[in-house]
Every structure is written in structure tokens, then in C-alpha cells.
Structure 1
């Protein structure tokens, strides 16, 4: 999985600053969940011709509750042309047939990649906001993000170890957005302390033998709760529960980390609170 921030503007203008009002896109189509969320944050609904169908999935999309009335697309090339966009937002590696079709019809395209840190979020928001003619809105979102990051920053050097664990013991090591969020919240990324870079898997036996201080799991009432699986049941393994009890298992809304955006600061705030709770329990001598 690629983790380096990457964006490829393909419209005829600079990558920073708003285009002239006469050229600001009025019918924007997004084909990617990450660009769906940026479009919904940066644009009024009337300038969004369609978002991808993933934007409406509350288990994936941060903006699922605010896009009512906006058309959704499956990302097909013919479907895209029928929407008559004047700008297409897309991922670097997804909906490639539609992206090729847009370029063949001389429709401007802005492509984005995955993000691994807050500098990547800043770069991507500014690039997309400039293409949309909404640089001022983008800067406002980033200013709020940076203010909240500063407020959530730790005031001491204690760094409890934290493990973000998905079904199947899938996790995120150094060089990932999850690691950047943990660092901003004053936590040490457990897989990184074990030498993991990027994404990978840990064994229950290894975790139990040397447990982290905190185990971060998805918020309650996730898709895993509604559709249990063997891989998801691993997180509730009795040995893992004994090693890391529920009091040390903060929940985190997974939509905050699926794509990096200004809203990712909410993950930092949640983990900063979990850090404070852990430190308070340590001082009180409670598990």
C-alpha cells in the first residue's frame, strides 16, 4: 500500500492560489472517497455534480451525514461523461478508465494519493482547494486543524505505547498516518517500536508477550460488530483481553484515518484524551 503523499494536478493552471472566478469549476465530480470528503468540506453542494458511492457509507466516510441530495456515482467512464463535469477529482490509482475518459475529452483532472502525515494533509488540501477556487476555505480548515493540534499536544515527555489493531491483527507502523496521529497525541506507535514500517500484521502471541499500554480499536457499532468474522474476533481473544483489559482499549472512529484531511485532528484529540486517562490511572495505581 502506498503511503507517501502524492497529488497530480492535471488542470491548466498553478497548483496554488484560486483560479479566476470565470474559470472556477461549477460541476465537480469526485470519483474517490478521499476527494469526496475534501469536496464536501470545500464546496457548497450546488457545485458538486456527484460524489462516489463510498461517500454515503458511514463506516467509511467522514462526510456521510452531510451529503444528502448530492448525486452518487459508481465511477464508470460513461456515467462520468453523462454528468458533464468541468473538473474531476480522483485517486491516483482508482477509477482509471473514467480518468482516462475525462482526459481524452479534455476535462481537467486532479488526482490525489494517500497521505502519511500532517504536512501531506496541508499540501493536499491546498492543492485541491486551489483547483476548486476555494483556497481561502482550505486555509480556514487548515488553520482550525493546526490550532487544535497545538491544543492537543502533550505537555510532558511521557509516551505510552499504543497499538491500533484492525481485524486479522492488521496494523500500521512507522511512516503511516496512524503513526503521525499517535505522535501528535503524545503516544509511541507500538508496531514502530517493534521495527515495523508501513502496514503489516502482528501475532497475538507477540502482543500478549509484550503488550502495549493502549490498544486502539474501531468505534462501537462498526461493520465488524454488525457482521462478525473470525478475523475480527481475534481482537476479543481471551489472552489479549487479559493482557490489555477494556479500560485500556480506547475506541477511535475509523473514518478519521481512512483518508487524511483536516478532520484527522479529531483522531489526535481522541487519543490525547486516552493518553490523559491512562496517565491518570497510572498515578492512581489502577489498571
Structure 2
């Protein structure tokens, strides 16, 4: 089959999908397509299933999305404008990090585009949850999820109270996450002190192994456990010096999929943090 044939086949398949989608006049709310893995997760949580026409191509990636299993119920999009135009959604939700030319083309074609920035603190996260609740027509669901997040924050604060831990969020190749970031805000909300500031890092930056060891934080925060290095980036975290000073009993493990995006998964991230603190204190 030639490339042109494949393209025509894909367009035809999408046309059938669009034809089978709920009629805007009878759907419970606006019909929505998502271009980004973060907007995917907000949409899955807050919208009715019949409102979701398609999700980003990364929606089913377990490493990136806490909603990867639920995402399998919905079509995935290519990331380009063509398949979105065929679906004729009422609204397209996207991140400001998505390809600008694609976003501009969709707007030129008359589609209603709602763009979300990357939140750096929990107040911005809550504002985006409210915004998506309004977009999908279910503000009550957004309010309920914000309440769940506030409850998780309260539990985490109670678990952290009076401990005064200095923690260092550390990932591949020595990347340190600073306080001016979503993960940094999450830690600060609980009362943990992010030691990245002592390295002069605000949003994020690389630190040497020597600097990390000399910093002497009480705990490091990593995204995964295990003793295997698939590549050099992962090998940094398994360096003998780090393993000596920061064995599993001094590592807080919070999976990336719970902190990469701002949304309902942050309540789960906070509950994981509480469980991890209990584990390292045993």
C-alpha cells in the first residue's frame, strides 16, 4: 500500500469515527479533543466519556499518565491538525507547549481552542481544574476534585509536621527540581524544605555528584526504585556514592506520572508521599 493510500485510509477511518460521534445537539456537553497528555488527564477525570472525541498520542503511556488505562477507551490522535479537523470537535484543549503552528491552524479553521499553561504551584493547578470543569460543563466535578486535593494536602501536612526534613528532588543525570516548580510547590505545601535552594537552583538545573553529596539533605526524592540502570541517565542515581549515603531507607519514591502534570493525580502523589515518609521512618 502506498503512503497516499494509507493517508486516504486514515482520513476515511476518522470520517467514519466522526460520523459515529454523538451529535452536538444531543450530547450531554461539548465534544472535545485533547492535544496534550496533561489536558488528557483533566479531561478524562472531569468530562463524560461521550464528550471525549480523542486524546493525545501519549495518553496511553503509563510512564507519563496516571490515567493511561482509562485512556484506552478513547481514540488517540496524531498530534497534527488533520485528524482533529475531521472530528469537528466543539472545543480543542491543548498545552502552550504543543506545536504552535498546529494550534494556529486549528484557530484559523474556526475551531475553539482552549490553551493551558504549565502550572508551577498548587494554586495554579486548582485554577486549571476549575477552568477545565467549566470547559466540559461539569464545574461540580472540578470542585469535588479540588476538595480531594485539599484533603490530601492536610493529611500530608499532618504527617510532616515538626519533622523539618531537608529533601532534594533528584532525577536522571543529576537534574535537581527547585522550589519554583510543581514538585517543589508540592513539597513546600507539606512543610518539607527543598534543599535545591542551597545549590542556587530555583526552577531546575543539573548538580554534580560532589555537590549533592556535600549538600547532605536528609532525604532524596526520586521517581523510581530498583538497582538496574538502563542508560547513563539512570546510572547517575545508582552511583556508589549516592547508594552509600542514600540507600532505599533515605529515598522517597514518587512516580513521575503523579507529578509531571498539574491535576487530580497530585492528591495521589501526596498520599504516596505520606506512605513513603512512614516507610523511611520505620
Structure 2 counterpart of 1:275: 277
Distance 2:120 2:158 in 1: 21
Local SS of the residue matching 1:139? helix
Q: CA RMSD in A?
A: 2.1
Distance 1:137 1:65 in 2: 20
Structure 1 counterpart of 2:232: 230
Distance 2:114 2:84 in 1: 15
Structure 2 counterpart of 1:207: 212
Instruction: Flag structure 1 segments of 5+ consecutive residues without an equivalent.
Output: 1-20, 282-287
C-alpha distance after superposition, 1:65-96 (max 9, x if no partner): 11223000121111210121110000113132
Structure 2 residue corresponding to 1:174, chosen from 176, 179, 193: 179
Instruction: Flag structure 2 segments of 5+ consecutive residues without an equivalent.
Output: 1-24
Structure 2 residue corresponding to 1:255, chosen from 250, 254, 257: 257
Distance 1:134 1:51 in 2: 19
Structure 1 counterpart of 2:248: 246
Structure 2 counterpart of 1:3: none
Answer yes or no: is 1:41 the counterpart of 2:56: no
Rate the CA distance shift 1:69–1:268 in 2: closer, same or farther, 3 A. closer
Greater mean deviation of Cα atoms: 267-276 or 177-186 = 267-276
1:185–1:272 contact (8 Å) kept in structure 2: no
Higher relative contact order (CA 8 A, sep 6+): 1
Structure 2 counterpart of 1:148: 152
Query: How many positions carry a matched residue from both structures?
Result: 257
What is the TM-score when the length of structure 1 is the normalising length?
0.83
1:76–1:97 contact (8 Å) kept in structure 2: no
Rate the CA distance shift 1:168–1:207 in 2: closer, same or farther, 3 A. same
